[in-house]
Chains A and B, each alone.
Chain A
Amino acid sequence: MRLLLSDLSRLWKQGIAIIALIAVGVATFIMSTNTMTALEESRDRYYRNYRFADLFTPLVRAPQSLAASLNEIEGVDSVQTRIVKEVLFDMPDVLEPVSGRLVSLEENPRESMNGIYLRRGRYPEFSDRTEALVSELFAEAHRIEPGDRLIANFAGIVQELEIVGVALSPEFVYVVQPGLLLSDDKRYGVLWIPYASMANAFNMEGAFNNLTVRLTNDANTQHVIDRIDQLTLPYGGVGTYDRSEQESNRRVSDELAEVRTMAYMAPSIFLSVSAFLLNIIVSRLVYQQREQIATLRAFGYYPSEIGWHYARLVLVWVVLGTAIGIGGGIYAARGMFRLYMMFFRFPESIQPTMTWEWGVAFGLTVGVAAIGTFRSIRRAMEFPPAVAMRPEAPQRFDHPWLGKLGITSWMTPGIRMVIRRLESNPMITLFSVLGVALGLAILVLSSFMEDTIEFVIDNQFVKSQRHDLMITFRETASESALHDVEHLPGVTYAEPFRAVPIRMRSGLHSERLSLMGLCERPVLYRVLDEHTSEIEFERRGGLTITKKLAEMLQVRPGDRVEVDILEGDRQTVLLPVARVFPNYTGPAAYMERSALHDLLEEGERISGAFVALDDSQKGETYAAIKQTPAIAGVLDKTAAMKNFRLVIARSTSWMRTINALFAALIAFGVIYNSALISFTERARDLATMRVMGFSRGEISAVMLIELLLITIAAIPVGIPIGYAFSYVLTLAMDTDSHRFPLVISRSTIAYSMMIIIVSAIASSLVVLKMLKELDLISVLKVKE
């Protein structure tokens, strides 16, 4: 025990480095798993208690009487028939028109399917005034309180809505405008008003255009979907989908998948680096203490007792590191969960709590430590007492290959010492270089996302989308609607598009999405290939689809896919895939517009237009749009881009700060440790040199050159490892709603290198201080 304490106190610096690394690995693990569990539980409880629907069917207009026959389908537990409309709001605090979704409410919104949770205020009642509930995120973004009034444009009729409450719904845990990558609560929100008010406003009395269904436990989902599609087809049903294709649920699931990745990937990297470092430290420790080991063995200690001594030493570090990591992880999980609550809304959020994770954390770290130190400890146990009692013969230096090349001849003795030491201990050198390289790699990993996001922004918002606004019409319109758009004040150019809901199928895979018809050579909304040059759509060219979609359907250019058109006559056609292009949002498909018209057997119908604006007239453009009943939605690209940056910054800052901190810590820990070890092993040589009259500066140079060489050698090794780590992370982050390309800028590399160099300098300063305190006399008296 005394020996253990003395070793612990003597090795406190290495101990702290190990403890910190393990704590970091455990903290990321605990943080991610706890956040994940809390999010999952919050979501599941919400879905259960508020009866989130299983199936969703948008349609054009169906009589309420249809509900009875839908209810009778085998496997259907209950149905909800609603009116759902996209509308524009005129918000006083935003220049541009704000889009929103209006959802009708049943008699008893709290108890109904997709139950409404009231955060503040009361449920709306049907009266002369139109009372409404507003989604919490939208309310927060605009500081709306019960009692406030909102101006909305209901199909050309300006309506005043009276807000009576702030609400949440399991359908809108995450609210995102169709076509956007991220939520923008200032420009898109959800409002609920009583069915009667809504039916009045939209001429939908006795009818509905949105069906949601809850299934019984034993339902055959596909069978139910087929039946619903059959029954709703005459009423413009555009195909039923399940939760996996429901926007909010999909985003939440994707996010959970990402947290899950984080939960396993980051800690595995941190913990493997710890194992690696433990391996270096313990093997050197055993080497340095062979005399002590031999003495103990000579006194009659069993090898197992020797092994236990080192195992306990490591265990103390590991247990301390794990305990600190668990504490830190719980704290960090709270922070991360709060962050998620900025975007995801649940009526009751289950705070992250610790359950099984701590056991896993301990098991993991002890396992990692065992892997890292097994060999060294076994070696300590196998030391023959007699051999170890003799002073070690000077280390052999017989294959200096640089010397053979004649390179060392012009070097000063100090540099020669360093070079020979490095080349004669290839394993130790390799480990030191690899250790520093890993630090660098982790730095790259923790900071490359920024580059990737900038790349996506540049690609999406600057190179590809050159429009200022995307305008969608309430209904498809004739070509003349384009002229109306062109004549809006401030519009300099308008480019029409046709969008039609489809389900694309290939083999067993299918995906619901919107097929977009674009001009042959779009100017404002361009689709770019992998070389960022624009793709032209030939008339008979077939489909141009995103790589993501191609992967989901497992198709390649030249393959044919089945396309169910979920509009009009609902025909199914076979279309060739002409091109596949990389993109970073969800699945998307494009084709030439007139070819799409032919397919739909329609004339020149358009769904909306991309518009270029004269910025100075933006105010007038918006004012006019708000007066135009035909326009259902407007998307301001510049605002979307700004929001994208803001949301990303807000949602990733926590993670990035933590990661960068951890990475710097690891980098420093690794460099610092190699410096310490190297110092310990050379103290005698350096002291000898000092005694012989070398100045402190001269021997410092020897140490610093070694650190410098290791750091320089680590850079070309660490950068590719950093690329590899980052690539794995992009694969792991590849979800249905977005994917991130691997983009690493020079500045990220430079930043990572800088942190490494700063760590090296800081470690050097520590070494310099130790050199200053080097006790010349005692070092000489102690034999090696």
Chain B
Amino acid sequence: MGDVDVYALRGIDLDLYAGEFVVILGASGSGKSTLLNILGGLDVPSAGTVQFRDHRLTDADEAELTRYRREHVGFVFQFYNLIPSLTALENVAMVADIATAPMPPEEALRMVGLYDRRNHYPSQLSGGEQQRVAIARAIGKRPDVLLCDEPTGALDVKTGSVVLEAIARINRELGTLTAVITHNAAIAAMAHRVVQLSDGRVASIQSNSVRKSANELVW
């Protein structure tokens, strides 16, 4: 038996615009994580091109991808990935340290409503709080792109909506292109545009004429 080539993504043609809030929906295996990794400069596609402004990420080498992530991308992970040995403020400050035009870490924490808990370690924070610190960390560098990978996946509804509200607020106030990938269709109602992925292809793209706020979501 010969090797079978498996493509995570096939023929994706997608434009994302500055200031947009996009939700990428898809079941597990639909290729949404691969898409996010490519958007975030963690992975390069085997064929096709990816362009960020006037940079072709598909031609970039490891060092250029690192610079792209460093200067333009903020990540929010499903399991927060905070550095346990640093306080909330230090976690945020650490990324600000390597950014070109960061906001003060205290301000980033204020935006997610956790300024008062800035000196707590991750172990002293709840899951929702940890995720909000992770958001503050991601936006501290004033990224052009904020990529969130199942940001509410490990959270209950109530906590999840607080986290989503924080993300929406960043998008609104800083005008950051925000892409949230999730399998949770309810979140789609928050987006300007919803990209539905299926089997590695874009199944549909729809725009929401009316957007719901995070606390209106039910799942």
A640–chain B nearest beta-carbon distance, Å: 63
Residues of chain A within 8 A of B128, CB atoms compared:
none
B34–chain A nearest beta-carbon distance, Å: 9
Q: A777-B37, A784-B79 are in contact. Are A692 and B121 (CB under 8 A)?
A: no
Stretch at the interface among B70-78, B164-172, B186-194, B195-203: B70-78
CB pair B84–A692 under 8 Å, yes or no, is no
The yes or no answer to A389 lying at the interface (CB within 8 A) is no
CB pair A394–B121 under 8 Å, yes or no, is yes
A776 — nearest CB in chain B belongs to which residue? B42
The yes or no answer to B81 lying at the interface (CB within 8 A) is yes
The yes or no answer to A92 lying at the interface (CB within 8 A) is no
A653–chain B nearest beta-carbon distance, Å: 48
Q: Mark B65-108, 1 if CB is under 8 A from A, else 0.
A: 01101110101010101111110001001110111000000000
The yes or no answer to B33 lying at the interface (CB within 8 A) is yes
Bound together, the chains give a CA A777 to CA B121 distance in angstroms of: 25
Residues of chain A within 8 A of B70, CB atoms compared:
692-695
Residue among A398, A685, A777 making CB contact with B43, cutoff 8 Å: A777
CB pair A395–B98 under 8 Å, yes or no, is no
Residues of chain A within 8 A of B86, CB atoms compared:
413, 416-417, 420
The yes or no answer to B215 lying at the interface (CB within 8 A) is no
Residues of chain B within 8 A of A689, CB atoms compared:
83, 94
CB pair B69–A692 under 8 Å, yes or no, is yes
Residue among B63, B77, B81, B85 making CB contact with A416, cutoff 8 Å: B85
- Interface size classification for chain B: 35 or more
Residues of chain B within 8 A of A695, CB atoms compared:
63, 66, 70
Q: Tell me the interface secondary structure of chain A in the complex.
A: helix
CB pair B84–A395 under 8 Å, yes or no, is yes
Bound together, the chains give a CA A398 to CA B121 distance in angstroms of: 7
B12–chain A nearest beta-carbon distance, Å: 18
Residues of chain A within 8 A of B26, CB atoms compared:
none
Residues of chain B within 8 A of A416, CB atoms compared:
85-86, 90
A616–chain B nearest beta-carbon distance, Å: 73
CB pair A398–B66 under 8 Å, yes or no, is no
A781 — nearest CB in chain B belongs to which residue? B33
Residue among B42, B79, B82 making CB contact with A777, cutoff 8 Å: B42
Q: A396-B123, A398-B121, A693-B73 are in contact. Are A412 and B97 (CB under 8 A)?
A: yes
CB pair B95–A692 under 8 Å, yes or no, is yes
Residue among B66, B73, B93 making CB contact with A413, cutoff 8 Å: B93
Q: Mark A669-705, 1 if CB is under 8 A from B, else 0.
A: 0000000000000001100111111111010000000
Bound together, the chains give a CA A691 to CA B123 distance in angstroms of: 22
B54–chain A nearest beta-carbon distance, Å: 19
Find residues 399-448 in chain A having any chain B CB closer than 8 Å to their own CB. Answer: 412-413, 416-417, 420-421, 424
B119 — nearest CB in chain A belongs to which residue? A403
CB pair B82–A394 under 8 Å, yes or no, is yes
Report 18 cross-chain contacts, Cβ distance below 8 Å, ordered by A residue.
A391-B79, A394-B122, A396-B121, A396-B123, A397-B85, A397-B123, A398-B123, A413-B83, A413-B86, A413-B97, A420-B86, A688-B77, A691-B42, A693-B66, A693-B95, A777-B37, A780-B77, A780-B81
Question: Which A residues form the contact surface with B (CB < 8 A)?
Answer: 391, 393-398, 412-413, 416-417, 420-421, 424, 684-685, 688-696, 698, 776-777, 780-781, 783-784
